[in-house]
Copies of this chain bind each other. A is one copy, B any other.
Amino acid sequence: MKYCSECGKKVSISIPEGDNRPRHICSSCNTIHYQNPKMVVGCLVEHENKILLCKRAIEPRYGLWTLPAGFMENDETTMQAAARETIEEAGADVEITQLFTMFSLPHIDQVYMLYRAKFKEVAFAAGSESLEVSLFAESEIPWDEIAFPVITESLKRFFVDKKAGQFQIHNGAMFKQINNEKITFDVAVLNDH
C-alpha cells in the first residue's frame, strides 16, 4: 500500500495513538488503513470412501492437486463460501455436514478452513480454475503432488479420523520453518492427543 484509497494521497507507516502496531496512515486525510488476515474456505467432499480433488489450472502450483477452496467473499457465511468454491472449482453441489479443520497460516496471513461435505447428487466437473476433478481413495491420493501443506495435513487427519470412526474438529496453526534451505511446517493443534 502506497496511496490512500480514500483520498489518493501518499500513506506513511507509523503507530497510531492508542495502538501498538505500525499501520498505513494517510498523510493528508489521516485515514488509518488496517490490514487483516483472509479466510480461505473449502470442502472435503467424501463419496464411497473417496475424496474429491481438483488439479489446479492456475498459479500458484499449476498442475498440482488440491481440495476445492478459495477466499471467502463479503456478504456470505463460511458455509456458503465453502459450498460456492466447491461448485466453482469442482462443479459439485454439496451439503456441508461439519467443520473439520481450521488452521492459521501466519506466514501468509491466512486462516484455512475446511468442511466435511457430501454430494447432493453425485456429479462433478472441472471449473475454470481446475484442469481435472476426480475422486481418490486414500491409497490413490497423489501425496507427492498436493499443492499446499495445509491440504496434505488436512487429508492425513481426515483418513486418521475415518479409521478411528470419529471425526474431530482440528483447530490449530502451521508455522513455516526454513532449515538449510529446506522448508518444513510445525503443526500445533488444540486438544491433539
Contacts and interface: CB of A to CB of B under 8 A. Distances in A.
A123 interface: no
Interface in A70-92: 71-80
Contacts of A39: 36-37, 39, 111
A130 to B, nearest CB: 13
A9 interface: yes
A5 interface: yes
Q: How large is the interface on A (under 10, 10 to 19, 20 to 34, 35 or more residues)?
A: 35 or more
Contact of A190 (B35, B36, B96): B96
A152 interface: no
Contacts of A79: 104, 171-173, 190
21 contacts: A1-B6, A3-B6, A4-B5, A35-B74, A36-B71, A36-B74, A37-B39, A37-B76, A72-B111, A74-B106, A75-B109, A76-B106, A77-B172, A77-B173, A78-B102, A79-B173, A97-B190, A98-B191, A99-B171, A99-B190, A102-B102
